[in-house]
Structure 1
């Protein structure tokens, strides 16, 4: 069994609300065990047999669309992948009082042209760094200056993704490590 997390996009935003208890119940209809949710932004951890992992995100997406009536992009990560995301943080010396750090998990790895398009919007306020299918975003806390939104990045890349702040990434990695 592997412990993994499903990062769900568009959960509890834009009027699309679901209680975490209901989301947990939906996941419990899948061939998984030990389902656990974390905060209201669509983070669901569970154990799954290695033989069932291939394309499992598609099964989750299909089930959620059937149950909720709208598509929900799903990105799966295991503990090793979460640890890699943390270890590769390009902003380890970021001052949390002045900058916020986000991690955007993408549905696929962007090509060179897509990466260049994101580099073109980098500034002193918003800095973007790729690691395969992960985009790290460091934003100045002065929200009036920051242009970063999940939708902006998706529009430029033409790739679906979902974003979590650094504290959530760290907490989920910790929860995964405890099983």
Structure 2
């Protein structure tokens, strides 16, 4: 069995159709095993014999829309991709805290000019740490000490499409631990 994490876009726990138990039910209805949710932000881990991740993404998204009316996007990463990402230690010496968020923005597809576009980004309060090609993820540090919120996510959507989703580095680490349990 293969281990996967589905990172769902646009999940709001206050919406009754987006509750963890309903999300789990959709995944279980698709025949996935060891389905579990993590936090209340659209993180679902599961086991499946399937290996075609784009097909898995399409199946999950179709079921979420049909059964719960959730139109957002679904990005799936394998346990191996996420484990390797964590093992690279992309934020050496940095700590996720209230003042500094360590973030991972997952892209559904890797754009051909990703590195060039990333180098163009110069918004104050955001530092691009790098891009992990295998996991298709942009790694960044967001400085929250300035009361003005950086508009990094809007820039990412404009540059790379809305087929992205961002998680804190702590959430990525918790997701991998959940997959290892």
* TM-score when normalising by structure 2: 0.85
* C-alpha contact 2:38 2:44 (8 A) present in aligned 1: yes
* C-alpha contact 2:104 2:168 (8 A) present in aligned 1: yes
Relative to structure 1, the CA distance from residue 111 to residue 61 in structure 2 (aligned partners, 3 Å threshold; closer, same or farther) is same
SS at match of 1:23: helix
Q: Deviations over 1:103-149 (max 9, x none)?
A: 0111011222x433332223562112212211001111314355144
CA distance, structure 1, for counterparts of residue 63 and residue 161 of structure 2: 24
Q: Is structure 2 residue 108 aligned with structure 1 residue 101?
A: no
Q: Which runs of 5+ in 1 are unaligned?
A: none
Pairing partner for 2:177 from 164, 174, 177: 174
CA distance, structure 1, for counterparts of residue 44 and residue 81 of structure 2: 16
* 2:141 matched residue in structure 1: 138
RMSD of Structure 2 on Structure 1 (CA): 2.4
* 1:91 matched residue in structure 2: 91
* C-alpha contact 1:7 1:42 (8 A) present in aligned 2: yes
Relative to structure 1, the CA distance from residue 13 to residue 137 in structure 2 (aligned partners, 3 Å threshold; closer, same or farther) is farther
Shifted more, 123-132 versus 38-47: the winner is: 123-132
Q: What is the count of residue pairs matched by the alignment?
A: 177
CA distance, structure 1, for counterparts of residue 166 and residue 96 of structure 2: 18
Relative to structure 1, the CA distance from residue 74 to residue 52 in structure 2 (aligned partners, 3 Å threshold; closer, same or farther) is same
Relative to structure 1, the CA distance from residue 65 to residue 143 in structure 2 (aligned partners, 3 Å threshold; closer, same or farther) is farther
Relative to structure 1, the CA distance from residue 155 to residue 123 in structure 2 (aligned partners, 3 Å threshold; closer, same or farther) is closer
* C-alpha contact 1:9 1:162 (8 A) present in aligned 2: yes
CA distance, structure 2, for counterparts of residue 108 and residue 89 of structure 1: 23
CA distance, structure 2, for counterparts of residue 51 and residue 144 of structure 1: 44
* 2:77 matched residue in structure 1: 77
* 1:30 matched residue in structure 2: 30
Relative to structure 1, the CA distance from residue 51 to residue 131 in structure 2 (aligned partners, 3 Å threshold; closer, same or farther) is closer
Q: Which runs of 5+ in 2 are unaligned?
A: none
* TM-score when normalising by structure 1: 0.86
* C-alpha contact 2:96 2:170 (8 A) present in aligned 1: no
CA distance, structure 1, for counterparts of residue 143 and residue 8 of structure 2: 25
